[in-house]
Amino acid sequence: MSILPSKSNINNRGIIFLGVMLFCVLSISYYAVFAQPTYIVPEPYKDLDDRIKQFFDEIIANPINVTTFDSILPPQTSGGGSSIDTSVSEMRTKLDDVKTRFGGFRDYEKIDAKPIGKDLVIIRYLLKCDSYPIVWTFTFYRHPSVAASITTSTPTAAQWQTIGLRFDTNIDILILK
């Protein structure tokens, strides 16, 4: 009887070691390739995201509701027959056409938020229809005097006004920006 391990024990340990190492490498590779990134909303824009989510919840519940755009557009733009009212009316019509073409609105997902300086932010979402996604772009502006008068470092949604709102079925714009 020998104290030294037999050659077959060494080979078995080596095979087990290689198997464990291969499993670890494959597990890490799988996670790196297939794990979905979780987008964490920067705190300064959380209130804006809440406002956008309310807008999408209303669109999904009732896409042709006359007041749907009121939750995202500033109060001074409603009424009075302004050009913004005309644009909103056209947008409602186009949105109805999109629903007819691509099916019902099912869900939405944030794509990104891009601050431009400290008083302008562009936030993009994907509205998922039955057969095709729609890219929504929201542009918010905060007047510098409002920003200067803020005593807290986290601005609220009330301090931001919507200056741009559009949607597009051309998803190639996601690659270009």
Judge whether residue 104 has pLDDT over 80.
Answer: yes
Across the chain, mean pLDDT equals: 75
Both 29 and 94 in a single domain?
no
115 pLDDT band, cuts 50/70/90, is very high
Note the pTM of the prediction, 2 decimals. Answer: 0.65
Whole-angstrom distance, CA of residue 82 vs CA of residue 73: 13
20 pLDDT band, cuts 50/70/90, is confident
Both 15 and 64 in a single domain?
no
Both 26 and 60 in a single domain?
no
Which helix (H) or strand (E) element contains residue 22?
helix 7-34
* pLDDT at residue number 81: 47
Both 59 and 131 in a single domain?
yes
Whole-angstrom distance, CA of residue 117 vs CA of residue 151: 19
Rounded mean pLDDT, 158-162: 82
Q: Contact, 147 vs 115, CB < 8 A?
A: no
Q: What is the CATH number of the domain that holds 47?
A: 3.10.450
Both 134 and 170 in a single domain?
yes
* pLDDT at residue number 130: 94
Domain count, the chain: 2
Extract the tokens encoding 149. Answer: 């008068």
Judge whether residue 167 has pLDDT over 80.
Answer: yes
Model pLDDT for residues 132-149, shown as the tens digit of each residue: 999 999 999 988 776 555
Whole-angstrom distance, CA of residue 51 vs CA of residue 150: 20
Model pLDDT for residues 49-99, shown as the tens digit of each residue: 999 999 999 888 886 666 677 777 765 544 444 455 567 778 888 888 888
Which residue range forms the structural domain that includes residue 26?
A: 1-35
Alpha-carbon separation of residue 151 from 22, 126, 143, 156 (angstroms): 55, 34, 15, 12
